[in-house]
Amino acid sequence: MRFEDISISKIQLDNRTCEISFLSDLTVLRNSIQQKGILQPVHLKALGTGRFQVVSGFKRIDCAQALGFTSIPAFILEDEISLLECFERAVEENFFSRKFNVIEKAGVIQKLEKEFNISKEVLIQKYLPFLGLNASETVYQIYKNSVTLDPFVQEYIVRDHLPVYVIEEFFKFSLPDQRVIILFLQSIHFSVSTLKEFLVWIYEISLRDRSSISDMLLEPLKAIVQDHTLDGRQKLQVLRQWLKNKRYPRLSTLETRFVMLKQKLHLPLEATEFFEDNKLHMKLSFQNKKELEQWIEKMKEASLKPELDEILKIV
């Protein structure tokens, strides 16, 4: 390996075989290069024709070119080194200097498979652990599927640091549906767990009702998101309830009825989750005898109301 200043015009900039980065912010790097120049040389592979292929340093080269640099300091890897070895070096170099996001790891796996013809077995056994992943078919499939996601979904995944168990939910949707979902997600912010629930529910509703995702997202849900009388949290609540009613119509009716009856009884009644048990629970707090007596009075009143019989029938 030798060190040289290489003219950017001699570099094959369109050959991105060894590129790994996905969605990186170049602002900081550009500013640094503008102020201090390129501190860390890039790695290039000599192609034997006086031209060079980039092994690592795509972002540095792109910034340098945008800033009007004509040459760049580089370590030159000789022609004898195979491209696969170069790629492995690129991965290693990147991997030790920063954390790869999911789509970058997926990209590495895809390149190893497609560009370097690495068999699935070797990928699973050798390269998944190399990327800090479990050597299993399931993990391999997840990453393989991630590459096929709509680019906007990929971007969303990276920006929101979505974990694999949420990413998996996107695989169930067609590419056009993914695009519709992503457009919808621009207008409302879900936490990770509510996003998972949202994706599961819209998928299951569309499967059950044989309805299209866009019909669901464009009509009723869009109206909720665009309702200016609601703040962000309220929108999420209304949207969640709408979906829950649709996904669990009978259970939701039961729950709504329960809440209504409970309010009429003026008691802090609770049922077990999803009414799995047939008992009602009540937790009372009081500070003195008078407060206790008030509770007793409320209970007496409740025991005479027809709503009590009805709520007991529900559970």
Partner 1 sequence: MIFYRPSKIYVDPSVGDSPITQSILKTFPDVPCDYTCEKPNILNQLSGYSDPLLEGKKHLWITRNQGKLLKKCGASTSSLNNLVCCNYFILDFSFNCHFECVYCFLQEYTNLPLMIVYANIDEMLHALQELLDTTSSSIRIGTGEMADSLALDEITGFSQYLVPFFANQKKAFLELKTKSDSIQNLLKWDPKGQTVVAWSMSPSSYIQKYDFKTASFEERLKAAKLCEQAGYKIAFHLDPLIAEPTWKEDYQELIDHLFSNFNPAWVSLGALRFNANLKSMIQKRFPHTTLTVGEFVSTPDGKKRYFRQFREELYQTVHGYIEKYHRQTPTYLCMENKVVWQNSMGSVPLSEQDLEKHIVTHMGTFERCQNLSLLLFLRGLFFA
Single out the segment in contact with partner 1 by CB under 8 A; choices: 34-42, 175-183, 273-281, 285-293: 273-281
User: CB burial class (10 A; 0-12, 13-18, 19+) of residue 295?
Assistant: middle
Other beta carbons within 10 Å of 313: 8
Select from 6, 46, 109, 124 the one that contacts partner 1 (CB under 8 A).
Answer: 124
Select from 7, 31, 134, 136 the one that contacts partner 1 (CB under 8 A).
Answer: 136
Residue with smaller CB distance to partner 1, 54 or 128: 128
| Number of residues near partner 1 (by CB under 8 A) | 24
Select from 82, 148, 278, 294 the one that contacts partner 1 (CB under 8 A).
Answer: 278
Give the shortest CB-106-to-partner 1 separation in angstroms.
18
Select from 93, 160, 204, 307 the one that contacts partner 1 (CB under 8 A).
Answer: 204
> Three-state secondary structure along 226-248?
CCCCCCHHHHHHHHHHHHHHHHC
Residue with smaller CB distance to partner 1, 208 or 266: 208
Number of residues that this document lists for the chain: 315
243 neighbors 279 (Cβ within 8 angstroms) = no
Site for partner 1 in 249-268 (CB under 8 A): 249-251, 254
Residue 219 touching partner 1 (CB under 8 A): no
Residue 309 touching partner 1 (CB under 8 A): no
Coil/strand/helix, residue 77: strand
x/- track of binding to partner 1 for residues 153-192 (CB under 8 A): -------------------x--------------------
Nearest 10 degrees: Cα torsion 133, 137, 143, 149: -160
| C-alpha span between 225 and 187 (Å, rounded) | 7
Q: For the stretch 276-293, what's the b/e string if a residue is b when 16 or more beta carbons lie within 10 angstroms of its beta carbon? A: eeeebeeeeeeeeeeeee
x/- track of binding to partner 1 for residues 80-119 (CB under 8 A): ----------------------------------------
Select from 79, 92, 137, 309 the one that contacts partner 1 (CB under 8 A).
Answer: 137
Residue 100 makes CB contacts below 8 A (sequence gap 6+) with 20, 94, 108, 131
Count Cα neighbours of 249 within 13 Å in the Cβ-side half-sphere.
4
Give the shortest CB-239-to-partner 1 separation in angstroms.
20
Residue from 249, 180, 190 nearest 216 by CA: 180
Give the shortest CB-139-to-partner 1 separation in angstroms.
10
Residue with smaller CB distance to partner 1, 120 or 189: 120
Paired tokens of 35:
């102020």
Coil/strand/helix, residue 71: strand
Select from 220, 274, 292, 297 the one that contacts partner 1 (CB under 8 A).
Answer: 274
Select from 98, 120, 161, 257 the one that contacts partner 1 (CB under 8 A).
Answer: 120
Residues near partner 1, by CB under 8 A: 120-121, 124, 136-137, 141, 172, 204-205, 207-208, 247-251, 254, 273-278, 314
